[in-house]
Amino acid sequence: MTDAATGAPGAMTAESFARITDAILASVGKVIDGKPDAVRSALVCLLAEGHLLIEDVPGVGKTMLARALAASVDATVRRIQFTPDLLPGDVTGVSVFNPVDREFEFKPGAIFAHIVIADEINRSSPKTQSALLEAMEEGQVTADGQTHILPDPFLVVATQNPLEMEGTYALPEAQRDRFMMRISMGYPDARSEALMLRQRDTVNPLDAIAPVATASKISELIAWARAVHVAPTIEDYAVALAAATRTHSDLRLGASPRATLQLVRAAKVWAALDGRGFVIPDDITALLIPVFSHRLIPTRSSGGARARTTADAIAATLERIASSVRVPLAARQ
């Protein structure tokens, strides 16, 4: 790894932040062509210490995006294929009796990595899905009364298929609320799909990716983004948007306080990626749908293709809320 990729040793600066994040975005973009918004969202979740849920039909690059991000960071990576027979202990780990020492010792599960790819998370039972709750919220695993700390930084990138597909289990509200953002990849455009046909017939694009940042450098990026300034009026704006979802007639369940906190955290990273040391209202509104939509429940059924049209209906409701809540014009000192 060169200094051009990782930044010179020492304190993080705006220039080194931009250099490293641009390198990560470019690295992932080599594999995920034509989806810059999805790539940026994945990086935002990593640097905002959140978790990412990618929901879409099979074959559009959900797992490839997660693997490309993992390959771009020189950190430990584990992939868990969620299936109906997967057990919670397979995820978190189990205590095994050691006949030599005559005592139980903890064998860490696949969750013990910097980046964990939870592939097709909604194909496992709710009991197994819940094994991720403590890890995603507190960065630790408790087994047999003992607490085991997960690596830092820690990111879960989960993929899920639409719920109308056979053999899927809906993620419970508490599980969805742990994810900072939910995004959809969508189908590639014709040019990108044709390019994929030519390039991937003989080579795997992941093989060409080399790490451009270490885990310790990612921790420095996280600390830099955390220091981005949020004016009191911007905080009030985020709270007002969340409060509007809790009283809106089209929504049965509004955004939680955790959602408001994660919206502001994500906005800090969004601002830092744009080269600013402060958050503006546009950062909040740009992230409103990916951060809030998967936490909301509409008051009435959308009929037909439920998963897709419900998501569209919630997005439209959030757009109306954003247009109705007063945007702060100047920071309150």
SS3 223: helix
Rounded to an integer, the average pLDDT of 249-275 is 94
pLDDT of residue 3: 41
Q: Which of 95, 178, 104, 109 is nearest to 150 (CA)?
A: 109
**276-313 burial, b if ≥16 CB within 10 A, otherwise e?**
eeebbbebbbbbbbbbbbbbbebeeeeeeeebbebbeb
pLDDT of residue 301: 53
Residue scoring higher pLDDT (198 or 279): 279
Distance CA 331, CA 76 (A): 41
Q: What rounded mean pLDDT belongs to the chain? A: 86
CB–CB of 173/294 below 8 Å? no
Residues of the chain with CATH 3.40.50.300: 35-213
Q: Is the pLDDT of residue 271 over 60?
A: yes
% the chain with pLDDT above 90: 50
Residue 194's H or E segment, with its range, is helix 190-199
pTM, to two decimals: 0.86
Q: Which pLDDT band, with edges at 50, 70 and 90, does 331 fall under?
A: very low
Encoding tokens for residue 55? Answer: 């929901």
Q: Is the pLDDT of residue 163 over 70?
A: no
Residues of the chain with CATH 1.10.8.80: 228-325
Q: Which pLDDT band, with edges at 50, 70 and 90, does 167 fall under?
A: low
Long-range residue pairs from 136-140, CB within 8 A, at least 24 positions apart, any chain = 136/51, 136/178, 136/179, 137/178
Q: How many Cα atoms within 13 Å fall on the side-chain side of residue 29?
A: 13
CATH class of the 228-325 domain in this structure: mainly alpha
* 107-to-50, 95, 155, 207, 210 alpha-carbon distances in Å: 26, 6, 21, 30, 30
Q: Is the pLDDT of residue 104 over 80?
A: yes
| CATH T-level fold of 35-213 | Rossmann fold (3.40.50)
